[in-house]
Structure 1
Amino acid sequence: MRHRLYARLHGLVILIFQVSADLGVLRVTNYVTPPLSSDYCLVYNSKWTHLPQTSNNATSYVLKNIIYTELCKNSDVPAGGIKDEAVAVMRGNCTFVEKGRIAQAAGAGAMLIASEDGLVPPSGNQTDYDNITIPVVMIKSRDILDVEKTLGKNVRVQLFSPPVSVFDYSILIIFLIAMFTVSVGGYWSGVPDEDTGGRSLSDSGNSEKKQSDKNVSFTVFTVLIFVAVCCVMLVLLYFFYKYLVYVVIAIFCLASALALYNCLSALVTKITVGRCRFTFRTKVIEVRLLFLATFCIALAVIWAVFRNEERWVWILQNILGIAFCINFIKTLKMPNFKLCVLLLILLLIYDVFFVFITPFFTKNGQSIMIEVAAGPSSDEKTGGDILEVPADTPAPQEKLPVVIRVPRLMNSAQTQCTVMFSLLGFGDMIVPGLLIAYCRRFDVRIDSRIYFISCTLAYAVGMVIAFTVLILTKMGQPALLYLVPFTIITSTVIAWRRGEIKMFWKGSSYEVLESSRKPLLQDDEPPGVISE
């Protein structure tokens, strides 16, 4: 059970982040051999500098590269002058305002301040900057060196800042992934019951008992222990993140590889070809399943090795994560609606507490949930402006791999500066998915589809509401705050309207109680005679 418990340790929060409006694009073009050009990231202070939104409206300047100097005094201005040029200088021991004054006095059209550390918006006294009319922006020194290497010295530059869109289509991808996961996991959970004619686990024969051995069912006690362990582990991760993160990564690799194998083997065994077998120590091994196991392990190992490659490794993490959630939902079965309600409400309280209440107790005012979900010192945990663009060679930031991550489909300024992700915690799929799975199995028992379909649609509506609130508030949201009420209320209303609320509430235990009754009278015996 250990590998299953950590799925709720964090990630019960949707995080979709806006990128600061102070990010822009530096477009560099070789004016001798056009249209050879490249785009680079720049950071500026919108209170000081106004940049056009498109390159069509941006002024073109000849680039004067003098990053060997800091331009902190008038004598630093090159002999040839910098009139009407964009001058690139090194960040140094004088203020941004002092650099801007010297460049403007020399007739420069724009100032590019190169930094070897990180990029922060130029700052200083607003009154001092009022007299500076030229754009002053920050760029990476690495980018200026790359310009000279790839485009040469005869280049012109344009500075502009594309607008940040309110809606990002990565939200739609997250939504589709969540719906696919809970639908497949919930439907698959009911397949064994469907194969046994809808009988409950308690009433089934030996074949059903073998199937139940592969599944795990909750009780009231295990629900309480489960939630308590989640709380303790989340707090431990908050205080000992840099140590425990590697434990979670190792568990994720093992659990996700096993889950992916379970999911794919169900498909592979349907294929009628390639059933070659061999015997190893009295065990019969099927070759195609051996290759499948190797593939699943290799996928998990590749993710572990390249887990900090932001540009593409999220694809592997999502594949492994989806398999993990589907396998969790179809394996761990809730015996009745009563335990579903208990589990979902307790985890809802857990979710809201660690997102909204814990900021009042932490030193930095950040919620424990978001701090753990995005990783300490991560830009992804902020719902507002980015205050700093990473340095040229930032150290990789280890993050808990228990979220679905989809890169924001961003404009060019955001793409050049940093990779931002929309995140959805595994728990936001697993926890409601357990209720959806119970509805599916209950449908099988009563020969219906209404509970599974209605609960899945309620989950979709809850996700849409959560995304809407997130976009409007620009704050990370505890998704269970919306998913739990919609799924529980919808399932309750359906059961009440159909007159099945008692059976739905007690689940298989209700069926056992009804089926265990034995008549006291035989059909052929008169009243008052008790058969022996």
Structure 2
Amino acid sequence: MKIWEPVFPNFFKKDEYVKTFKLPNFIYKEPIVFNTNKGEIVCLILSFAIGLRWIFYKDFITHNVLAVSFCFQAISLVILSNFLIGFLLLSGLFVYDIFWVFGNDVMVTVAKSFEAPVKLLFPVSSDPVHYSMLGLGDIIIPGILMSLCLRFDYYLFKNNIHKGNLKKMFNDISIHESFKKYYFYTIIIFYELGLVVTYCMLFYFEHPQPALLYLVPACILAILACSICKREFKLMIKYQEITDKSNTVDDASKNKKKDKEEIPKIQETPVSNAKKRITNK
């Protein structure tokens, strides 16, 4: 739902449908407010239909739809504060993935026997029964670093507008705002090349390959190469998505002032009015 909300804002209007009901006091004293909109209802119906189809049929298309949804959700929830943490995370999983694929066949065995949508399935044309697999970890982990690159591109764009005086970091980026995405496009291209190399090695050796063996060097090399070519290596290393204490205090005081100013507005929303009517009854 979070994916479609910025794309179709008219379908996700706040307080579009508000329904209030009250339970017996011994169960719950406060009035319960059901607040939704067209977009949430459509997403709920589609999610329910896709889930039912996967339970009864378990076809690879529905399986992949659920798996990709998990990827989007995971990438949107996990935020890296800087590139060094991202490099350390990928490097650790790089060693982990190699050991459990080459050193032991546990990961391959579990991936083949586990039916939950925690991997992408690609049918093999010559064998309709067997599938090629790509674990979600091979998508989510590099994807988290890709999202950091996109935020860094946005930071550079805003920093250029403010002539280098920008201190604020941005976790939310408007999809309708146009800016140059050098780091984001570079890491995507290198990631795709890493996937191509992975499948080439898979067909050549005829043995399961740890995708992170090729994806981790590709992603790290992409960021380093782009930062060196743009002469922004030091800026990239120093980039931090946590503001300093002074900025935090200033932001906190501003937020308190905003909250005080917005109290009358909040009391006039449909949800609050519905609660008042129930309470008065």
Indicate the residue corresponding to 2:235 in structure 1.
Answer: 503
Taking the aligned partners of 2:93 and 2:221, their CA distance within structure 1 comes to 16
Cα pair distance change 1:406/1:271, threshold 3 Å: same
Extract unaligned runs of 5+ from structure 1. 1-260, 308-312, 359-366, 376-397, 517-532
Indicate the residue corresponding to 2:50 in structure 1.
Answer: 299
Indicate the residue corresponding to 2:99 in structure 1.
Answer: 353
Cα pair distance change 1:290/1:374, threshold 3 Å: same
Deviation at 1:507, TM superposition (A): 2.1
Question: Secondary structure of the equivalent of 2:2?
Answer: helix
Taking the aligned partners of 1:464 and 1:479, their CA distance within structure 2 comes to 10
Deviation at 1:402, TM superposition (A): 0.7
Indicate the residue corresponding to 1:285 in structure 2.
Answer: 36
Contact 2:12 2:38 in 1 (8 A): no
Deviation at 1:263, TM superposition (A): 2.8
Cα pair distance change 1:292/1:356, threshold 3 Å: same
Taking the aligned partners of 2:231 and 2:108, their CA distance within structure 1 comes to 42
Aligned equivalent of 2:87, options 334, 341, 352: 341
Deviation at 1:272, TM superposition (A): 8.6
Taking the aligned partners of 1:352 and 1:471, their CA distance within structure 2 comes to 18
Cα pair distance change 1:507/1:270, threshold 3 Å: farther
**Is 1:473–2:205 an aligned residue pair?**
yes
Listed one character per residue, the Cα deviations across residues 214-256 of structure 1 (whole Å, up to 9, x for unaligned) are: xxxxxxxxxxxxxxxxxxxxxxxxxxxxxxxxxxxxxxxxxxx
Partner amino acid, structure 2, of 1:472: Y
Indicate the residue corresponding to 2:111 in structure 1.
Answer: 373
Contact 1:265 1:292 in 2 (8 A): no
Taking the aligned partners of 1:402 and 1:339, their CA distance within structure 2 comes to 25
Aligned equivalent of 1:405, options 121, 146, 152: 121
Alignment root-mean-square deviation, CA: 2.6
Contact 1:276 1:288 in 2 (8 A): no
Aligned equivalent of 2:71, options 325, 329, 334: 325
Aligned equivalent of 1:431, options 137, 141, 161: 141
Indicate the residue corresponding to 2:150 in structure 1.
Answer: 440
Contact 1:439 1:451 in 2 (8 A): yes
Contact 2:11 2:37 in 1 (8 A): no
Indicate the residue corresponding to 2:60 in structure 1.
Answer: 314
Taking the aligned partners of 1:509 and 1:322, their CA distance within structure 2 comes to 27
Return the structure number with greater strand share. Answer: 1
TM-score by length of 1: 0.37
Cα pair distance change 1:408/1:509, threshold 3 Å: closer
Deviation at 1:511, TM superposition (A): 6.6
Deviation at 1:513, TM superposition (A): 8.5
Deviation at 1:506, TM superposition (A): 3.2
Extract unaligned runs of 5+ from structure 2. 21-31, 158-179, 249-281
Question: Secondary structure of the equivalent of 1:401?
Answer: coil
- Sequence identity of aligned pairs in percent? 27
Taking the aligned partners of 1:338 and 1:284, their CA distance within structure 2 comes to 41
The runs of 4+ residues in structure 1 deviating greater than 6 Å are 513-516
Question: Secondary structure of the equivalent of 1:262?
Answer: coil
Listed one character per residue, the Cα deviations across residues 292-351 of structure 1 (whole Å, up to 9, x for unaligned) are: 2132133223312333xxxxx111111111111122212311110011001101111110
Deviation at 1:368, TM superposition (A): 0.7
Cα pair distance change 1:514/1:346, threshold 3 Å: farther
Where do residues 93-242 of structure 1 align in structure 2 (5 Å cutoff)? none
Partner amino acid, structure 2, of 1:349: V
Deviation at 1:276, TM superposition (A): 5.3
TM-score by length of 2: 0.68
